[in-house]
Amino acid sequence: MGNTSCVFCACVEQANIGVVERFGRFEKLAEPGLHIFNPFLGQYLAGILSTRISSLDVRIETKTKDNVFVQLLCSIQYRVIEAHADDAFYELQNPEEQIQAYVFDVVRALVPRMNLDDLFEQKGEVAKAVLEELGKVIGDYGFSIEHILMVDIIPDPAVRAAMNEINAAQRLQLASVYKGEAEKILQVKRAEAEAESKYLGGVGVARQRQAITDGLRENILDFSHKVEGTSAKEVMDLIMITQYFDTIKDLGNSSKNTTVFIPHGPGHVRDISEQIRNGLMEASSAQRNVE
């Protein structure tokens, strides 16, 4: 229901305040409730003002210090001061337009002194400055500024696209740095693993050769003790020839046969046995030097 009135009485609803005149002159404020007027004495209800908080959205276009045009969407929360409702009723003919004009004046005086990046970071400071300046002026006209919010800052579309490209380039650069560091760590770890693998492989080969040497030594000594008249060299040659023929047999029985050219003959067998014996002797000598 709205506020109701007639010649002799008027009802002012909650969150409203009435302005009573007498012969065209302000007489008093009417609180919420029923009021009786004497029209013969010139009393009547001249108007009613709402004391609720009102919201006014203002879109301001201005330029920053670094010559970037931006639009600021500002939301002003204001209300009528009950004690000074007569000032609000009589002083300002169109409060919204006049509040908007004051906001324009303050913002366009403050923002041109700030760079675009500073404006985004300090939009709360801009709202605070507008609140202080606007509160001083509007308070004299019976209005109270409750809050001022900088809802949005909208740069020119070309500037927004450039800012996005700069941000994307910076993020790509940072990603490249992280990717390079990751590849560096992988290469270092791969090199460390390869070095460790080669070390362990060398240790394994050394142990394998040592085991072969020890096994051959035991076979030679055992054969020499059991068969009289044989020297260690003869036993060694016999073992090498036996190993040689076993190797030829394994190559022939392999499921993945391939062509392998091996020099064959009595002289070549003797040369191979001498090469194997010399290699084993060098390995045994190297093992003793290490120990």
pLDDT recorded at residue 195:
85
Does position 284 have pLDDT exceeding 80, yes or no? no
Q: Is the pLDDT of residue 42 over 70?
A: yes
Average pLDDT over residues 139-155: 86
CB 56 within 8 A of CB 74: no
Q: What is the pLDDT of residue 201?
A: 79
Q: Looking at residue 42, what DSSP letter applies?
A: T
CA distances from 242 to 93, 208, 249, 266 (A): 121, 19, 11, 13
Using CA atoms, how far apart are residues 60 and 134, in angstroms rounded to an integer?
15
Residue listed under structure tokens 């693998």: 197
Residue 266: HSE in the Cβ half-sphere, 13 Å Cα cutoff: 0
Mean pLDDT of the chain: 78
Give the model's confidence band at 5: pLDDT under 50 very low, under 70 low, under 90 confident, else very high: low
Confidence band, pLDDT 50/70/90 cuts, at residue 1: very low
Kindly write down the DSSP assignment for every residue of 234-258, as one continuous string: HHHHHHHHHHHHHHHHHHHH-SS--
Nearest to 63 by CA among 110, 24, 122, 13: 110
